[in-house]
Amino acid sequence: MHTPFTYAYCIYLYIHQNSFIKLYIMNKFLVFFLLLFLNCSYAMPAQITSCRVTKVSDGDTIHCKTHSKKYKVRLLYIDAPESSQTFGIESKKALAQKILHKKVTLNITKKDHYGRTLAEIYLGTTNINLEMVKQGYAWEYRGLTLRKYTNARYYAQDRKLGLWQYPNPIEPKVYRQQQKNEKPSLNTLLEDIMISLKKLLQLLVDILDAIKGFLNG
């Protein structure tokens, strides 16, 4: 009598003996682990470097360069309004007025999964990241911040500075989620499908390995 375990074991043997299918599965695993690596922030040794700001992309992203290297920097611990969001343009202008074409110091901690350098930026002794929050041009990055950034937001809120002059400002991460829910991109859907398929494949292989161990035992 053939049981489900017998059928599953036959599938395992077929996959194991068929080099094409085996190679296909191995390639899928390679892609999976590569994506997993790229989607994880990887730590860098803490370092301090000086550079000149060449471009301000928005209220929490800049470009700068040294004599030998270029950086795309995401301001650490803060989250500024998106460019398409209320007060997004004002936030970008405020950051540009503070540091564009100026020499700044980067207190670098790591890179994010987009490859951007994460750093606190100093103009002299002034912490620009902190000032952006304190003046109401950005939120602190919830869940990944220091207490001083939360206190800076309270300071701006109490005085209705910057974006806090509006009655119900929307936090950038909430805004991004709303945009995503309203109009999911094809790439996002394909990524979700691929992730689900990879998880299903991993589960199948784990089950087959367990069945093989059970039968051999």
Catalytic positions, written as ranges: 74, 82, 116
- Close Cβ partners of 81 (under 8 Å, ≥ 6 residues apart): 59, 87, 88, 91, 138, 163, 169, 172, 175
CA distance 150 to 148: 5
Q: Left (φ > 0), alpha (ψ -120 to 50) or beta: where does 5 sit?
A: alpha
Tokens standing for residue 96: 């540009």
Angle at 64 between CA 78 and CA 114, to 5 degrees: 55
Q: Which of 148, 28, 125, 136 is nearest to 76 (CA)?
A: 148
* Residues paired with 79 in a beta bridge: 139
